[in-house]
Chains A and B, each alone.
Chain A
Amino acid sequence: MRYEMVVGLEVHIELSTESKMFCDCSAKFGGEANTHVCPVCLGMPGVLPVPNKKAIDYAMRASLALNCQIAPFTKFDRKNYHYPDMPKDYQISQYDKPIGSNGYVVIRTDKGDRRIGIRRLHMEEDTGKSLHEGVAAGSLLDFNRAGVPLIEIVSEPDIRTAEEARLYLQKIRTIMLYTGVSDVKMEEGSMRCDANISLRPEGSSEFGTLVEIKNMNSFRSVQRALEYEAARQQSVLESGGRIVRETRHWDEGRGVTFSSRSKEEAHDYRYFPDPDLVPLEINQEWVDEVRRALPELPDQRFRRYVEEYNLPAYDARVLVEDLALAGFFDEAVAAGANPKAASNWIMVDLQGLLKGEGKSISEVKIKPSHLTQLIDLIEKATISGKIAKDVLVEVCFTGKDPESVVKEKGLVQITDESALIKAAEEVLAANPGPVEDYRKGKKNAIGFLVGQLMKATRGKANPGLANDILRKLLDGSV
């Protein structure tokens, strides 16, 4: 029997506010242990949490960017459980009235576009961090992250392959980057993901027993964990066994999921409305205000690149998925660069250089206006495309503008016929073999000779002109 996986993802994203969700401690990442704490986020008795307006606005912005509806009435609830990294013994979350619901994102798979539903988006607060390793006496607790605003994005069980799961996460990450509500760094924990996965016979519409997977720290580990878990469940089913509803942890090193066998399995969070926090009423005016402040989102930008600039879909996607690169491209175009030329230079040469150096666009010295100027120099035939590649490298490392680089290094293209004829004659004299080939009818032997002429002029010859002159000399028409 063939099985298919049914996957839903729960993504936690830390919001980039200055202060925490319910107190005015700093929400900045890092800092010495327990220096961003106060009676509210330490869960002292008698304190009064007050929500951060910006965190609410950000949650609304994220909801709208994910095509969610905003709840006109929403509230905060207490999720009760005990864990030492959560000093209040409850987490302030949202239970039955999430701020956002019924959204979706579109991902592009090999089989075309797929719409993945977003069931809900709710606000909550982060917990502290515990350290176990290398401490014999016990565990160490740092509450700097406790109370940092989070949103949790819960997808519908619409994901059918591990690859789709990765694409979905990438899409969520890109959208969040565009909205600016989070820096979404998986390595710093500002984006985290848990997965629910079950198997069912292909074509069936029933759902199998659900297993939750935790502790996946990268998009790649999500994909690997789902692939592993689907294979594990399939072998259990095929040997006549039954899937146990449980939480499993992903072990990155061993590449397996393992059962955590925790006694806390029976989740009994006893949610109830937090009496310390009054409900929120969100009117249309407020929603409209947040909607107006939404920046251009990845899908809109993709359409603009393809429809207005005629970029190939692949190129448009690569640019859109890298916010900094897309911004660089937009600025170069705004400064007057031909969009297709700018995209080509960014996609091929600039990306190649950045990959080789292991750097991002902000870590090299080239500015968007430099690229515009470089393209202009090629279009005016001041330099050849080949020379331009060297100029680009120089600009990236020195930050000098292309025109200065061209002048300083004497790279101006030779477009004067008379200046080239002498060099062309020398090339012909030095290469009797190819010359003879050409004259005997092997017309493509001219390619080699053009190459030699470019080399003789250190790339400064205009390639079209070099070709013309050689042809004329060989055909005896000069």
Chain B
Amino acid sequence: MSISAGEVRHVAELARMALSDHEVEELSAQLSRILDHMETLRELPTDDVEPTAHVLPIRNVWRQDTVGESLPPDAALANAPERRGNYFLVPKIVER
């Protein structure tokens, strides 16, 4: 099972990562090895195993609909690269 340089570039773009040609080469080899390992796992007979959505055998965890305390704006904005008043300021967003 091998993963192509093109697939690595596509996934990198989805993740907003800039990769050098060298990194693409390195990662495609590493990711291929991971997929190979998955191929090994795939050999296990799992026909009788229910697909799972979660590793914990827990269901139905929730909270009641009550309002608690939110962060003070200065704390909320403490990590903002830049702020304008109570807003986060980010580079201009191009229309979606």
Contacts and interface: CB of A to CB of B under 8 A. Distances in A.
Query: Are these two chains actual partners, yes or no?
Result: yes
Interface of A: 17-19, 24-26, 32-39, 42, 50-56, 75, 80, 82-84, 97, 130-132, 135, 137-143, 249, 260, 262, 264, 268, 270, 273, 275, 277-281
B84 A273 contact: no
Interface residues of B, number: 37
A130 B82 CA distance: 15
A97 B53 CA distance: 11
B41 interface: no
A280 B59 CA distance: 6
Contacts of B93: 83-84, 130, 132, 138-139
B64 interface: yes
B68 A24 contact: yes
Nearest to A44: B79
A53 B59 CA distance: 13
Contacts of A53: 62-65
Interface string B67-78: 111110100110
Given A18-B67, A24-B67, A141-B90, A278 B14 contact: no
Most buried by B among A17, A35, A277, A278: A278
Interface of B: 10, 14, 16, 53-56, 58-71, 73, 76-77, 82, 84-93, 95-96
Given A84-B93, A277-B61, A279-B54, 12 more contacts: A24-B66, A25-B68, A26-B67, A39-B71, A75-B53, A83-B93, A132-B93, A138-B82, A139-B92, A140-B88, A141-B90, A281-B60
B70 A25 contact: yes
A137 B84 CA distance: 10
26 contacts: A19-B67, A24-B66, A25-B67, A26-B70, A34-B73, A38-B68, A42-B76, A50-B63, A53-B63, A56-B62, A97-B53, A131-B87, A139-B89, A139-B90, A139-B92, A139-B93, A140-B87, A142-B86, A142-B88, A264-B96, A268-B10, A268-B14, A270-B14, A277-B61, A279-B53, A279-B59
A51 B87 contact: no
A143 B93 CA distance: 15
Nearest to B64: A53
Interface of A is mostly: loop
Contacts of B92: 132, 138-139
Nearest to A275: B54
Contacts of A130: 93
